[in-house]
Amino acid sequence: MSDAYGPADEKESVATLEAALAAGIRHFDTADVYGNGHNETLLGRVLAGRRHDVFLATKFGFVGDEHGQVCVDGRPERVKSACESSLRRLGTEVIDLYYLHRRDEHVAIEETVGAMADLVSEGKVRYLGLSEVSAETLLRASAVHPIAALQSEYSLFTRTPERTVLPICRELGTVLVAFSPLGRGLLTGKLKSRAHLAEGDYRREMPRFAEGNLEKNLALVAVLEAMALAKNGTAAQVALAWLLAQGEDILPIPGMKRQAHLQDNLGALRIQLTPEDLACLSRLSEAVHGQRHNPHNLRFIEDK
Asked whether the beta carbons of 175 and 130 are under 8 A apart, the reply is no
Q: List b or e across 199-217, with b for residues whose CB sees 16 or more CB atoms inside 10 angstroms.
A: eebebeebbbbbeebbeeb
The backbone region for 232, taken as left when phi is positive above 0, alpha when psi lies in -120 to 50, beta otherwise, is left
* Residue 248 CB contacts under 8 Å (≥ 6 apart), including other chains: none
**β-strand partners of 157:** none
Cα 157 from chain centroid?
Answer: 14
Q: Are strands 62-64 and 250-253 parallel, antiparallel or unpaired?
A: unpaired
pLDDT of residue 301: 87
Cβ atoms 57, 97 nearer than 8 A: yes
Which DSSP helix (H) or strand (E) runs through 126?
Answer: strand 125-131
The answer to whether 34 is a known catalytic residue is: yes
Radius of gyration of the chain (CA): 19
Taking every pair of C-alpha atoms in the chain, what is the biggest distance, in angstroms? 54
- Note the pLDDT of residue 295: 78
* pLDDT confidence of residue 297: 79
- pLDDT for the residue numbered 68: 60
Burial class (CB in 10 A: 0-12, 13-18, 19+), 276: exposed
Selecting among 5, 34, 99, 154, the annotated active-site residue is 34
CA 18 to centroid of chain Cα atoms: 20
| pLDDT at position 202 | 79
pLDDT at 243: 97
Q: Which domains does the chain have, with CATH numbers?
A: 1-147 (3.20.20.100)
Q: What is the pLDDT of residue 294?
A: 78
d(CA 38, CA 20): 19
What tens-digit pLDDT sequence spans the chain (304 residues)? 887 676 788 999 999 999 999 999 999 999 999 989 999 999 999 999 999 999 999 999 999 765 567 889 999 999 999 999 999 999 999 999 999 999 999 999 999 999 999 999 999 999 999 999 999 999 999 999 999 999 999 999 999 999 999 999 999 999 999 999 999 999 998 888 888 888 878 788 898 999 999 999 999 999 999 999 999 999 999 999 999 999 999 999 998 889 999 999 999 999 999 999 999 999 999 999 988 887 777 778 887 5
Residue 128 pairs in a beta bridge with 98
CA angle 263, 269, 272 (to 5 degrees): 130
